[in-house]
Amino acid sequence: MTISRIDREKCNNCGLCVKDCPGRLFVHGAEVKYSDPYGICIRCGHCIAICPEEAIQFEAKGVFEDESFASDPMSALASAAKNPESIVDYEHLHFFLANNRSIRQFKSDPIPPEIQERIWSTARFAASGGNARSWTFIKLDDTEQIRALSKGCAEVMMSLPGRYGVFIKSVLKKDPDEDMIFRKAPLVIVISTPTKTDIDGVNTGIIGLYMQLAAQSLGIGSLWVGWAQAPLNIDKDLAQTIHMKGHCWGVIAFGYPRVKYQRLPPRRSLKIDTPGK
């Protein structure tokens, strides 16, 4: 998405884009002007979102067109943008978030493509530091491929010192067919970035959580699999089996839960310090 021009017939010269642009690329005068001589626009789209007249014109190559970003005709998505607090009240949001569980017992039923698409559609709105959006996603939904990756990750984990490798080894000794990594989930998403910076890790955490919460709203459980993330970064040959490049920041298993939880687990209150008080 690239800003191309300002539609002079629509622009009312309100200056909202001038104030909201993080790169200060809009100038307020007799008329609002846009200029990016140093190429610092991060394509965050705030100018598009805040303009009341839809005067900011942009090239939308690669942007989904399944939802209208315009206000006329008004789509449900565009309408909600004006008052996001009206979409869901705090109590319902609190209960929804508090009831998110890491699922380790999945049904074998595949997740239909149209349901998957709804998860990805939500995830594309995830925040990203500097709007870098440098993620790369690998989708695994073939049972044999998931099983092969699971065995490879388990082997790497068992070769490492520490309790987890010992634990996995003890379980597989009793039942060699046990899937200790993906828990027989029918869908696995691997998220990586070409670079390895702190912000890459933060960005992945954000979009991964978007996926998990979208999935939860559709009755699908998920599990963030650290026991796959670490092996994929340790064993480059293993990463090559799924054509993963760069650094893996997250591996998430998805599937319909085989269990229902009856109540929330206990959680400690947050410790929040206020310096100087």
pLDDT in tens, 131-150: 999 999 999 999 999 999 99
The strand pairing partners of 222, in sequence order, are 102, 254
| Residue from 83, 4, 84, 82 nearest 43 by CA | 4
CA 44 vs CA 173, 199, 235: distances in Å: 51, 16, 35
Domains (range + CATH), the chain: 2-84 (3.30.70.20), 98-255 (3.40.109.10)
pLDDT of residue 240: 98
In the three-class reduction of DSSP (H, G, I as helix; E, B as strand; rest coil), residue 133 is classed as: coil
For residue 73, cis peptide bond before it (omega within 30 degrees of 0)? yes
Sorting pLDDT into bands at 50, 70 and 90, what band is 72?
A: very low
For residue 40, the number of C-alpha atoms closer than 13 Å in the C-beta half-sphere is 10
Neighbours of 27 (CB within 10 A): 13
Neighbours of 230 (CB within 10 A): 17
pLDDT in tens, 245-261: 999 999 999 999 999 99
Question: Model-level pTM?
Answer: 0.88
Tell me, what amino acid is at 227? W
> What span, in angstroms and rounded, lies between the C-alpha atoms of 69 and 66?
10
Render the burial of 132-153: b for 16+ CB within 10 Å, e for the rest.
Answer: eebbeebebbeeeebbebbbbb
| Residue from 8, 3, 71, 72 nearest 41 by CA | 3
Question: What's the mean pLDDT when you consider all of the chain?
Answer: 92
